[in-house]
Structure 1
């Protein structure tokens, strides 16, 4: 069953993958609502399946959350990003145009998956540009203000977490952060900066993070969970 996709009733597609580095069974949900299960070589297929079924309620709950957060676009709708005003218009084909700070995303069919995917791709490129313009500078500003240091910073379209900090203190940030209010963006940046000093989520980590967020670390973490199932 390693690296095999299995259709499970009520749950959907589940990809099972054996991993030599895994010490436990890990379950995650992709943006398309399929499930990825990574597990150690010494765990039996029966144990893995039982683990999935045991977590069926949680899986369905997370998939339902993803569905409610799915981008729904209506004709003539407008949205504002950090830099741009975005309009969604009906057209004979899917296309995009930009004039100054105005971006027009034109869709042939507001109900089709193809048009939705096109709109999502356009928005992702907007967020990618904005993230590259804003996040490295803000990270450097917060690091200097609070006395942190790090090595490289990269911007990615990560589908699992908002950010991460490697053992070498390289920080990776999710371009989807551009969807968040500025205060929550700062919280994610500070979260990763604290990881340059403390590599776990133990009491010392939260104590340090509380010290620079006015004892609001857990509160801010809860606010972020309202936006996505991404982790930190």
Structure 2
């Protein structure tokens, strides 16, 4: 007895899987749809248990594709226009044997051997690590200076400043008025960098997001609501 031509089942840990019997299929074919669901095209006479076994054998690959869809990570290539506050990314193909980087004069140059595919996960990880280290260097040089500049201008007082690589927030202000700022601020447009800094400085006087907080923030950062909405177009540690 055959199951329906199309059937949706749950397979842990990948979630919903769509099984489709296809008269033209001679073997199992797998893809991950934009909604993150695995889609299996299978021969008409193949059993459901064999389809499930096939899906489970591909769990790692399916989860990798689902993660890419979830995070929206950029695949860096020679046409990438990525830049930090002080550097521009440049990817070049070279005849050398190893992947390397060269940083200076406002350029982050990634050298990729001609025989390698730039989309390979290990190369993408190398590029992302390099960019993060450059942003860390820039952030430690720039953010404390800009924080003090804006605090003096608007008469805010803070205790210490910490520049960190975290995955959850652009910035934070402790109950003792220590300011934490994320190295990933260095890939935001300058108005958004200032917005985050002023947002945290406003918390030195207003510890919650009450109307008083937003009124204060608007006073020192006109258009703050619009900037807050624009900031949501960016994701911490996802680029």
The answer to whether 1:161 aligns with 2:164 is no
Structure whose CA Rg is larger: 2
Match of 2:195 among 183, 187, 212: 187
In the TM superposition, what whole-angstrom CA distance separates every residue of 1:70-93 from its partner, at most 9, and x where no partner exists? Answer: 222113645443222331122442
With over 3 angstroms needed to count, the CA separation of the structure-2 counterparts of 1:154 and 1:87, relative to structure 1, is: same
Per-residue displacement from partner, 1:139-194 (whole Å, max 9, x unpaired)? 00100111101011111111111000111111110010011111110000000000
Q: Determine the C-alpha separation between the residues in 2 that align with 1:63 and 1:148.
A: 41
* 2:218 match: 210
Q: State the SS of the aligned residue for 1:129.
A: helix
Deviation at 1:99, TM superposition (A): 4.3
Distance 1:159 1:229 in 2: 6
Q: CA deviation at 1:101?
A: 3.2
**Structure 1 unaligned runs (5+)?**
1-5, 11-61
| Pair 109,64 (structure 1): closer, same or farther in 2 beyond 3 Å | closer
Correspondence for 2:93 among 69, 90, 93: 90
The CA deviation string for residues 4-58 of structure 1, in whole angstroms up to 9 with x for no partner, is xx93615xxxxxxxxxxxxxxxxxxxxxxxxxxxxxxxxxxxxxxxxxxxxxxxx
What are the ranges of 5 or more consecutive residues in structure 2 without an aligned counterpart? 1-11, 17-66
3-state SS in 2 of match to 1:7: coil
TM-score relative to the length of structure 2: 0.65
Q: Distance in 2 between matches of 1:81 and 1:89?
A: 18
Q: How many residues align?
A: 172
Q: Which residue of 2 aligns with 1:129?
A: 137
Contact 2:150–2:198 at 8 Å: present in 1 too? yes
CA distance in 2, matches of 1:187, 1:8: 39
Tell me what 2:77 maps to: 74
Structure 1 residues 150 and 99: alpha-carbon distance in aligned structure 2, compared to 1, 3 A threshold: closer
1:9 match:
15
